[in-house]
Amino acid sequence: MELFSIIQALNGAFGPSGDETGVAAVIADLARPYADEVFTDVMGNLICHKKGSGPRVMFAAHMDSLGLVVTHIEEDGYLRVGALGGISAARVVHTPVRFKNGTRGVLAADNGVAVDKLSIEDLYIDIGVENSTQAMELVDLGDVAVYDTPVVQQGDVVFSPYLDNRVCCAVQLLAMEQLGQTDNDLYFVFTSQEELGMRGAKAATYAIDPDYGIVLDVTGSVDTPKVKPADSSRQGGGAAIKVMDKSVICHPAVVDTLKRLAREQDIPHQLTVKRTGGTDGGAMQPTRAGVRVGGITVPCRYAHSAVECIRISDALACVRLVCAFAQAQLEKV
């Protein structure tokens, strides 16, 4: 498998929060040769189990994406929407979108509202119809639109919608493919509804009851002009080992193990201390009697916009670090 091709395949699928079945089916087909069992739970999490007799290790990358749910169809056929996840109206206005049934349109904003004052309530989707009757032949209340922007590779860089967090789904798949011999009992989980409050990860962690949890997600990149850093990672610096974010303080022993493995195996790496945001680690850590949680993250620019940006070399460093942790000799908790 090749990273960019996986990202293309995943973004060609449909998988907003709460309806991840399309993207889960693509991932399942790619993962099946490298797992002993592949199944989906009630929450829609896709769980790939590689059996072992050692400690249970759960890797988690969320597969859901942000979306815009139709809340009202106006008489002239324009679609009013609500947000699934953290969407900034100013960052997505004039973005092309598509629905599950293939209907396409563009996000637009009410006239007279300043860009810096835009809210989701000021946005609508134009699907090119003349009235509500025509609109209802194409969409219904509750239908969800996702961004319909292109996936582009330019050298080491990928520009694409939903790199948060399809890039880390690709990282997990490549790690499963490249993984060598290990006694650890491994669960590669592609979680649902992370963008709505880490709902899938909580259920999956309760069921698996892992000794260790490693969350894979993107993290902010502080290498853009005039940035006010809320993170500490930079693109091109390799795998970003999470120390903390607003949702989780990673277990010091897991952070130390990840740093040691990266040094020993000459894996490009850096640390990420993030003052805002959260990941599935926040749901994993306090589940049952608690889980030793760490994070391996890909520096990403323009997260939660319609075109995000990552470096392939950083993602491939994350693949190597996932494999290293999966194969490490770990103590049973």
The token duo for 37 is 């069992």
**Average pLDDT for residues 162-191, to the nearest whole number?**
97
Cα–Cα dist 231/309, whole Å = 16
Cα–Cα dist 322/333, whole Å = 19
Residue type present at position 241: I
**Average pLDDT for residues 77-88, to the nearest whole number?**
97
For the segment 182-223, what is each residue's pLDDT rounded down to a tens digit? 999 999 999 999 999 999 999 999 999 999 999 999 998 888
pLDDT at 229 over 80: no
Distances in whole angstroms, Cα of residue 34 to Cα of each of 103, 134, 172, 193, 283: 35, 47, 11, 25, 27
Known catalytic residue: 194?
A: yes
CA atoms within a 13 Å half-sphere pointing along the CA-CB vector of 97: 31
For the segment 87-109, what is each residue's pLDDT rounded down to a tens digit? 999 999 999 999 999 999 999 99
Residue tagged active-site, from 121, 177, 194, 331:
194
Residue type present at position 314: D
Reported confidence tier of residue 333, pLDDT bands at 50, 70, 90:
confident
For the segment 122-137, what is each residue's pLDDT rounded down to a tens digit? 999 999 999 999 999 9
Reported confidence tier of residue 151, pLDDT bands at 50, 70, 90:
very high
Claim: this prediction has a pTM higher than 0.85: yes
Which has the closest alpha carbon to 267: 314, 235, 299, 300? 314
Tell me how many degrees the CA angle 91-95-97 measures, rounded to the nearest 5: 130
Tell me how many degrees the CA angle 123-127-133 measures, rounded to the nearest 5: 105
Domains and their CATH numbers in the chain: 3-65+161-327 (3.40.630.10), 67-147 (2.40.30.40)
Cα–Cα dist 176/315, whole Å = 14
Helix (H, G, I), strand (E, B) or coil at 230: coil
- Starting at the earlier edge strand, list the strands of the sheet with 152-154: 152-154, 157-160, 308-311
The token duo for 102 is 């293939």
